[in-house]
Amino acid sequence: PICSINGGLRHSLSIPFFSQIPKLPIKANPKPLCPKPQLPFKHTSRALNLRAVLSRNPAETTANPNLPFKHSSRALNLRAVLSQNPAETTASEPKTQNFKHCFTKSDDGYLYCEGVRVQDVMDIVERRPFYLYSKPQINRNFEAYREALGGLNSIIGYAIKANNNLKILEHLRMLGCGAVLVSGNELRLALKAGFDPKRCIFNGNGKLLEDLVLAAQEGVFVNIDSEFDLDNIVSAARIAGKKVNVLLRINPDVDPQVHAYVATGNKNSKFGIRNEKLQWFLDAVKAHPNELKLVGAHCHLGSTITKVDIFRDAAVLMVNYIDQIRDQGFEIDYLNIGGGLGIDYYHTGAVLPTPRDLIDTVRELVLSRNLNLIIEPGRSLIANTCCLVNRVTGVKTNGTKNFIVIDGSMSELIRPSLYGAYQVMVLFLLTSMMKAFRIEMQRKRKTKGSWWGFIDFDLSCYLFINPMLHPISVTMSLASSLIACYTYLSAAYRAVAPSPPDAEISTFDVVGPVCESADFLGKDRELPTPNRGAGLVVHDAGAYCMSMASTYNLKMRPPEYWVEEGGSVAKIRHGETFEDHIRCFEGL
């Protein structure tokens, strides 16, 4: 079906997996569609007209859709037009900027990402929930590490486990990152993204022989984690016919003071070798001179670490081990101190260590031993660049507990359910009657008696089928249709209108639709009561969110977008579909 709304067209079209985003031009209307409602935040006097022209042939669209948004210091009106030449989109040299977070709430009450209103992005994407990233924030995060490492020979090895989006990996590789891998498929993905194998490090306590063979063939650094791991690396070297550069992953038994599930460097961890067995491993490496070359030592303490002294304590132990290893004739060139630097998930303004703070605590130790430093940032490179954008399905209570139910869930973002992790949530609400109408029409367009019914019937019968009726009759019919249309739009608007300025704040659990009591994204959050259709974003969702997403309850993994330099928005991952699931069973 095609409907003309204020001169715009919208085609109903299913967008297949890996097809491109069609053009969605939306222009500002100088006159608002309806009187401005009383809102709890400043509202722009201009409303958005829906002008959504979907491509009839997705195959004819460009290879990298860009949706430019006009920058403005005021509330922005969305202008979403596909780039005509996506090849010209390149990452500019990141600039140092004063910022607290790339997702900020402006004085007008709207949430913005790099000057682009998140609500506007929400209105044009074909599916929710979705992940939205800031590409400039990725640049800034990398630049912080690059500047901190000035004067040192180093490798910034991005931990692919944190976020394995191919477009993000390609961008980080272009900026200068190496890659840290914990599986054969992560190695294959790193190679696909163009990473230099000699700047890749293969970690893990259970690396498979076939994956180690690939690592040996490509010349990747491999960390020795156990006796059987060493045996497998030796076998892989023989199969590949190449000597493998290895590091010993030593468990320094340092308490990182983090959640037990993300602590990896204490005595109870499954990772690494104990220092009392160090000599056994040195002797084993000596026994295989044709297969193994020991080039460094590695440790990893954990994740979400907020005290840099912990890194220094571990580095002191590690350089002492390196001294002992060198005393036995090994040429040790690398110290890998892992990653794990935390971020401010609570947005309290807490003073947390920066990449420079981290590097400065180990700089003199590294220089004194003439070592190359390897670091493995994941969370601190990517977490604060992204939010998960959801829509409120409804609000309910069981008498003792209030719930905000959203379309996102533990399937898309499992950290709160898995770790009890806290991530800031922000509600933002629809303020345009036309936007409310769009949502209602998507839901009711196929139901009997919808807006299509009375408009098609009234206008068709009176204006088209019987054009010779008395002008008064035609005028009355048209007026009746307009009144009915306004009534419907008003009802649709009220369904998603924001709470009044004095809306009472209540305590809610924010939950999803998954059939598990553990399906929550936040517990006991103080929030205004939202109406159906309100937007809700979960901040700091760039790391260990999409990469840990599942298809539980057949909730297919969502699409991903990023805001680029200059304000354009591009899809960087297609959402998975039911058809993708069915394809796994074809031919069986």
Catalytic residues: 515
One-letter amino acid for residue 507 of the chain: T
What is the C-alpha separation between 32 and 427, in angstroms, rounded?
Answer: 24
**CA atoms of 178 and 190, how far apart (whole Å):** 9
Beta strand segments in 66-123, E: 66-68, 103-105, 111-113, 116-117
Phi, psi dihedral angles at 519 (to 5 degrees): -80, 85
* Phi and psi at residue 144, to the nearest 5°: -60, -40
Cα–Cα–Cα angle for 570, 576, 582, rounded to 5 degrees: 155
Q: How far apart are CA 156 and CA 136, in angstroms?
A: 18
Alpha carbon distance 98, 161 (integer Å): 29
**What is the separation of C-alpha 113 from the centre of its chain, rounded to a whole number of angstroms?**
13
Compute the distance between CA of residue 391 and CA of residue 536 in angstroms, rounded to an integer: 6
- Of residues 216, 374, 403, 186, the one with CA closest to residue 297: 374
How far is residue 141 from each of residues 345, 385, 463, measured CA to CA in Å?
16, 9, 61
**Which residues on adjacent β-strands are paired with residue 298?**
249, 336
Helix axis angle for 355-368 and 308-327, nearest 10°, is: 20
